[in-house]
Amino acid sequence: MKSKKELAVLLSKLKTFENPDVNLEQYQTDSEVASFVAWQINLEKKFENKRVADLGSGNGILGFSASLLSAKIVYLIDSDKNAVKVSEENKKILERFVGQKLNVKIINSEIGDFKEKVDIVMENPPFGVQKRKADKIFLEKAMEISDLIYSFHKTGSDDFIKKICKENNFSAIKIKEIDFLIKKTLKFHKKETYFVKVDLWRIERRELPLT
């Protein structure tokens, strides 16, 4: 992949949800945001030869971005069968565009059942609007399976992020505040589009426990 722009164009080809589940807070990650995040991670840590997991993967956009940037294997994990179906279609779409098979494994399961150890977790978990602290189980699973996590959380979640990191011997750095585009996909949405302030965090295991 030669540029972030080229990556964004490819990701824009992906199908999105037709009937998102409000209880799962299935808000689609925009292709521009996904390409920025993936490019940032690749600059910092390099995906090449890395095992990557996308927890609560939705249509797979974050995980596919890692695969397009030469990750060794990518796991897309989602509990929703419709999300898995869309991801499977998107895998075929991308493979047609790039002319090769992507080493992406799509798994329909609760994230708590996923046990593979990986080098990097990418996730856009529920923001906890419908169910308070719904993102906690995503962070706990990510910390169980990886030493390095890139995760989206609603702006204003600093105390929550820092607390769970301290409890699990991780450190957290806020990389960027992002205007997260949400389109009118659910019945209670009144506007065609609106933006939510979201922070991208880099969360890493500490070498030594805090004393």
In a domain, 191, yes or no: yes
* Model pLDDT, residue 48: 95
**Positions in the chain whose pLDDT score sits under 70:** 18-27, 127-133, 183-192, 194, 208-211
Sheet order of strands, 193-205 included: 104-108, 73-78, 51-55, 120-123, 148-154, 193-205, 170-183
pLDDT at 155: 92
The single-letter DSSP state of residue 58 is: T
Q: Is residue 198 part of a domain?
A: yes
Per-residue model confidence (pLDDT) at position 188? 44
pLDDT in the model for residue 18: 66
40 Cβ contact list (under 8 Å, min separation 6): 175, 176, 200
Q: Which domain holds residue 149?
A: 4-205
Can you give the CATH number for the domain in which 179 is found? 3.40.50.150
Q: How far apart are CA 185 and CA 110, in angstroms?
A: 23
Quote the number of domains for the chain: 1
**30-44 pLDDT, tens per residue?**
899 999 999 999 999
- Please indicate, yes or no, if residue 115 is contained in any of the structural domains: yes
Q: Is residue 173 part of a domain?
A: yes
Residue 211 maps to a domain: no
- Report how far apart, in Å, the C-alpha atoms of 126 and of each of 130, 146, 210 are: 8, 19, 29
